[in-house]
Amino acid sequence: MVKKLATEDAILHAADILKKGGLVAFPTETVYGLGADAFNGTALANIFAAKHRPTFDPLIIHLNDPDSLDRVADRSNLNSTANLDTLSAALWPGPLTIILPKQRSVPDLATSGLPTVAVRIPDHPVALSLIRHSTGAIAAPSANRFGQLSPTTADHVEKSLGDAVDMILDGGPTGIGVESTILDLSADHPRILRPGGTTREQIESLIGPVELFSGFSTAPTAPGQLKSHYAPRTALECFEKVPALKDAAYLFFDGRSRDQWREQHTIPVDERRIRVLSEDGSLTEAAANLFALLHALDTSGADIIYVQRVPDQGLGTAINDRLSRASHHT
Ligand code: TXA
Ligand code: MG
């Protein structure tokens, strides 16, 4: 495995690796992805092997241009393309994945045999250039071992996947920090299957009310809903009020909550284990910091990580979703 700064030369080299069926980890605006040519079945199989991911969990196909949508999705099978047209014009490139009826030519491995396909156009210059210079359609899950914390830096990818990847393109920390929102447009009513970087409010302002799938499932048809996911190795619990425990780590939403907690507790906790998602209580900043702080606390030697839930609005819905799944150990 080679980690390289995402220069133009490195991107061209990485595109070549993809064309030859290899695996490349690359930055997007949400998290790092582990990419393979979406039409190469062997390369797709290697993604599942590298991640130790069950093949019932389908992949997102990344495009660089809405014009290539017809290569993977079959719009003629949609009752109406109005929502798709509105959302793709307004929110692509961006952290929105749309589920659509699939084209037959898309390998079953990419969609886990479902009649639908997940597609998005990422808003990141390195990702867009890599897609453009390779085969124009890259299947990419997040670049981490299945079920573990998502990677927001090239180092996270290296630690999680190591030699299983042919190249890691280092484009620095990702900007948004939580995965894309997954919106299903293949059924009669639009439905959010996974809250993420595009808020429900943004989507509803464009196409009206959408349902939020909030249940957990172990069923393969909605694998984004797996109950235990995005999990550190250390036990994690969401808290409202918790004691100060010497061997615990704490992740607060904002500085105010941390300060209040400090005033109420006298037992000394290692300062490095008391962290804040956003000093000023910005949900955008909290999302961007979420996985990096969980990675850091996971290796801090603490017995347990207590995490404070954040306000359940805007990006907060995606953050709380990840915290709930991270705290569920099966
Ligand atoms: O931000 C993101 O979406 C990142 C970056 C790399 O683009 N990717 C990502 O991929 O989070 P992944 O594989 O970790 O999560 C994709 C989720 C899966 O949990 C899968 O269940 C869901 O998308 N998915 C894919 N195809 C689907 C389909 N046809 N129907 C329902 N859910 C689908
Ligand atoms: Mg993932």
Tens of pLDDT, residues 153-185:
999 999 999 889 999 999 999 999 999 999 999
Is the pLDDT score of 217 beyond 60?
Answer: no
| Residue of the CA atom closest to atom 31 of ligand 1 | 222
Work out which ligand 1 atom sits closest to the CA atom of 179.
1
Q: What is the pLDDT of residue 100?
A: 98
Our answer on whether the CB atom of 316 is closer than 6 Å to any ligand 1 atom is no
Q: What is the pLDDT of residue 269?
A: 83
112, two tokens: 């886990």
| Residue of the CA atom closest to atom 32 of ligand 1 | 222
Q: Pick from 330, 327, 30, 313: which is nearest to 171 by CA?
A: 30
Nearest 5°: phi and psi at 191? -140, 130
Q: What is the pLDDT of residue 219?
A: 43
| Residue of the CA atom closest to atom 20 of ligand 1 | 224
d(CA 133, CA 124) in angstroms, rounded, equals: 14
Model confidence, pTM = 0.92
Our answer on whether the CB atom of 116 is closer than 6 Å to any ligand 1 atom is yes
Task: Select from 29, 97, 112 the residue to mutate for testing ligand 1; criterion: most ligand atoms less than 8 Å from CB.
Answer: 97
Q: What is the pLDDT of residue 226?
A: 62
User: Of the bound ligands, which one is closest to the alpha carbon of residue 59?
Assistant: 1
Our answer on whether the CB atom of 308 is closer than 6 Å to any ligand 1 atom is no
Higher pLDDT, 113 or 188: 113
165, two tokens: 């990847």
237, two tokens: 């619990």
Q: What is the pLDDT of residue 93?
A: 98
Task: Select from 48, 56, 182 the residue to mutate for testing ligand 1; criterion: most ligand atoms less than 8 Å from CB.
Answer: 182
Q: What is the pLDDT of residue 223?
A: 46
d(CA 64, CA 125) in angstroms, rounded, equals: 10
Our answer on whether the CB atom of 58 is closer than 6 Å to any ligand 1 atom is yes
| CATH code of the domain made up of 2-212 | 3.90.870.10
300, two tokens: 């801090």
Q: Where are the beta strands (DSSP E) in 79-129?
A: 96-101, 116-120
Our answer on whether the CB atom of 123 is closer than 6 Å to any ligand 1 atom is no
Question: Which residue has 């037959």 as its token pair?
Answer: 104
Our answer on whether the CB atom of 94 is closer than 6 Å to any ligand 1 atom is no
Nearest 5°: phi and psi at 15? -60, -40
d(CA 168, CA 32) in angstroms, rounded, equals: 9
Q: What is the pLDDT of residue 222?
A: 47
Model confidence over 80-129: pLDDT tens digits? 899 999 999 999 999 999 999 999 999 999 999 999 999 999 999 999 99
Model confidence over 306-321: pLDDT tens digits? 999 999 999 999 999 9
Domain locations in the chain?
2-212, 235-326
230, two tokens: 């995005």
Model confidence over 1-52: pLDDT tens digits? 589 999 999 999 999 999 999 999 999 999 999 999 999 999 999 999 999 9
Q: What superfamily in CATH does domain 235-326 come from?
A: Threonylcarbamoyl-AMP synthase, C-terminal domain (3.40.50.11030)
Model confidence over 237-278: pLDDT tens digits? 777 666 778 899 999 999 999 999 888 888 788 889 999 999
CA distances 257 to 79, 90, 158, 179, Å, are 48, 36, 33, 26
Model confidence over 63-74: pLDDT tens digits? 999 999 999 999
Is the pLDDT score of 142 beyond 80?
Answer: yes
Rounded to the nearest angstrom, the distance between the alpha carbon of 303 and the centre of ligand 1 is: 31
Mean per-residue pLDDT of the chain: 92
Task: Select from 142, 165, 181, 186 the residue to mutate for testing ligand 1; criterion: most ligand atoms less than 8 Å from CB.
Answer: 142
User: Of the bound ligands, which one is closest to the alpha carbon of residue 27?
Assistant: 1
